[in-house]
Amino acid sequence: MLPLILLAGLSTLAVVFHLIRIRFSEAVDFSLDWNLFLSWIPLLVAFVARAVSKQFGQLTLVIALLSVLWLIFFPNAPYMITDLVHLSVDYNRDLTWHDAIMLFYYAQISLINGLVSLYWMHGAWNRTYSKKVGLILLLISFPLGGFGVFLGRIVRLNSWDVLHDTKSFFNNILASVYDRTALLLSVEFGLLLGTLYFVLWVLLRYRSRWLERSAR
């Protein structure tokens, strides 16, 4: 629960940055706040999956359904990196620097939400299936996250379109499989997510071992 409280506080600070912008000029884009909200959905789904896998053991079907739901919304977290395109540069304008910090802040928090959610899902997969299956699902998640960013930013699909317009949703996915930009974003975002996740995993593992040694 503490990580959720901490991330909620950081998200609130991001909104405060935007409110300051509105106070002195105007909103950059209200979709920033909506996208930040969407980055919370995979985090909350992963929190539930983590709790279920710890409390009730190997509920394979439940975790599978939660994994699908998580994957649908997971790309909303790294997606906010692409919101940096909203930055208009004027080096002599103070708001340029405020906007740069604000947009980075939004993107950073959203990305952290995604990485934490991935860490929790990885743990749930390991507990529910096996470490081998958990590793496979983890590695698949990286490029799929990048592909989801492509679908959101370039194709302009929304996560809920899978229910609202299912046929069109999957037709767009099939049409995008061989798109060069889709491949580029899948690979590069996959590498970015994989690198950052590895750093997070190492830090958390180091912390766990340090706590174990301190307790002896």
196 touches 108 (CB < 8 A): no
Angle (CA) 33-38-42 rounded to 5° is: 145
What are the pLDDT tens digits along the chain (216 aa)?
788 898 999 899 888 888 887 877 766 666 788 889 999 999 999 999 999 999 887 789 999 999 999 999 999 999 988 888 777 777 677 777 888 888 888 999 999 999 999 999 999 999 999 899 999 999 999 999 999 898 888 888 777 777 677 777 778 788 788 888 888 889 999 999 999 999 988 888 776 666 666 655
82 touches 153 (CB < 8 A): yes
The dihedrals phi and psi of 58, each to the nearest 5 degrees, come to -85, 75
Rg over alpha carbons for the chain, rounded to the nearest Å, is 18
146 touches 186 (CB < 8 A): yes
Angle between helices 94-128 and 31-56 (to 10 degrees): 20
User: 26: helix, coil or strand?
Assistant: coil
**pTM confidence score:** 0.86
Q: Which residue has the tokens 């580029």?
A: 184
How many residues are given for the chain? 216
Q: What is d(CA 113, CA 158) in angstroms, rounded to the nearest whole number?
A: 19
Q: What is d(CA 124, CA 52) in angstroms, rounded to the nearest whole number?
A: 8
Q: What is d(CA 87, CA 28) in angstroms, rounded to the nearest whole number?
A: 9
